[in-house]
Amino acid sequence: MNYLTNEKLVIVGAGGMIGSNMVQTALTLGLTPNICLYDIYEPGVHGVFDEMEQCAFPGANLSYTVDPAEAFTGAKYIISSGGAPRKEGMTREDLLKGNCQIAADFGENIKKYCPDVKHVVVIFNPADVTALTALIHSGLKANQLTSLAALDSTRLQQALAHEFGVQQDKVTGAHTYGGHGEQMAVFASKVKIDGKPLAEMGLSAERWEEIKHHTVQGGSNIIKLRGRSSFQSPAYNAVKMIEAAMGGEKFTLPAGCYVNDEKLGFKNVMMAMPTTIDATGVHYTEPTGTPEEMASLQASYEHLCKMRDEIIGLEIIPAVADWKNDNANL
C-alpha cells in the first residue's frame, strides 16, 4: 500500500467513536502507516488498536498509549477529539470550561513533547475556543493549527441538495463562517445549485430560514436521531484536513483558523473563514456577502469574543495582551 507520508500521526481521543473513525479513515485513505492512538482510557484505546490491527491494513505500523510523552514525542501531525462529548440538551458552549482546560493541557503537551509538529487539527467542542486555547498554550504558529468548521457547510450543502433534488456535490458555495456553534453565519449569496444561483431557484424566504435553522441545529438533530453526537462526519472531515496539511488534496471547505486582522476588524479569535489548507498550513481570504450576511458574521465574531473573554475570566488562557508570553508567534 502506498502512503502519502511515513511521518507520525497522533489521534488524540482514539478510544472514542470520533477517534476510532479517524484512525480507520486515515488508514483507508493511505495517509501514513505510522499512527499512534492516544487516550486516557486504556481499555477503550486498546480495543480500537486491536480492531485496527485486525483490519490488516498493509504496511500499517500502529501503536497505542495512555502516556502523553510517548504519544506526542516525534509527532508531525495531530488530530484531537479528546474532549467530553456533547449530550442531548447541551449546546457546544455548555462544554466550555471543562473542554478548554483539556485544550490547555493538550497545548502544553505539544509545546513540551513535539514543538516541531507540522499541523494540528482540533475538533472537540466548542471548537473555536478549544482550538484557540490549544494554540496559545502550544507555542505554534497561527497557520499550523486549525479547527473543524466544514461540517456546518456540508450540512447546509446536504439540506439544499435535498431541497432541490440534486446530487450533493452539485451544490457549491454553501458555506458557513464565524463560529462553529449556534451563532454561526450562514451564507447564501454564493450558493449555486447545479451551476444556477440560488437566488434564481425560487426558494422562499420562509423556507430558507427553515434550512438555516436545520443547519445550525445539525448536531442536535443527529443526537435526536442516533442518541449520540456525530462521529462519522467530523472524523472524515478532520482527516481530510490533515491529509491536505500532509501535502495531499487541498482542503477548501471553511476551516477554523486564527484571525487577528485589523483590516477585517476581526481580532484575536479562532473563526471559520474562506480557507485553503495545504502543505504550508492554513490560509484565509476575506469573506464576502450581502450586508445581511456580513452583519450575521459580525454578530458571530462578537459572540466568539465573549466566549474568549469568558475563558480568560476562568484563567484558562491569559489576557490577550499577555498571549505572547505563552506563544511568541501570536
Point out the residues that are catalytic: 180
Locus of grid cell 477529539: 81
317-324 long-range contacts (CB < 8 A, ≥24 apart) are 317/100, 317/104, 317/132, 317/133, 317/136, 317/137, 318/136, 320/268, 323/136, 323/268
Centre a 10 Å sphere on the Cβ of residue 35 and count the other Cβ atoms it contains.
24
Grid cell for residue 62: 500502529
Note whether 303 and 295 are within 8 A (CB): no
Tell me the C-alpha distance between 145 and 23, whole Å: 19
Asked if residue 16 belongs to a known ligand binding site, the reply is yes
Would the annotation count 14 as a binding residue?
Answer: yes
Is 17 annotated to bind a ligand? Reply is yes
271 annotated to a ligand binding site: no
221: annotated binding-site residue? no
The answer to whether the annotation marks 92 as part of a ligand binding site is yes
Would the annotation count 281 as a binding residue?
no
Sign of CA dihedral 93, 235, 169, 31: positive
Does 226 appear as a known binding residue?
no
40 is annotated as contributing to ligand binding: no
21 marked as part of a ligand binding site = no
For 74, phi then psi, to 5°, come to: 85, 0
Does the annotation place 15 within a ligand binding site?
yes
Determine if residue 39 is labeled as part of a ligand binding site: yes
CA gap 176, 185 in Å, rounded: 5
- Calculate ∠ Cα 137-255-199, nearest 5°: 150
86 assigned binding-site residue: yes
CB atoms within 10 A of CB 203: 17
Q: Which amino acid is present at 165?
A: G
**Per the annotation, where are the binding residues?**
13-19, 39, 86, 92, 99, 123-125, 155
Q: Which residues contribute to the annotated binding site for NAD(+)?
A: 13-19, 39, 99, 123-125
Query: Which residues are known binding-site members for substrate?
Result: 86, 92, 125, 155
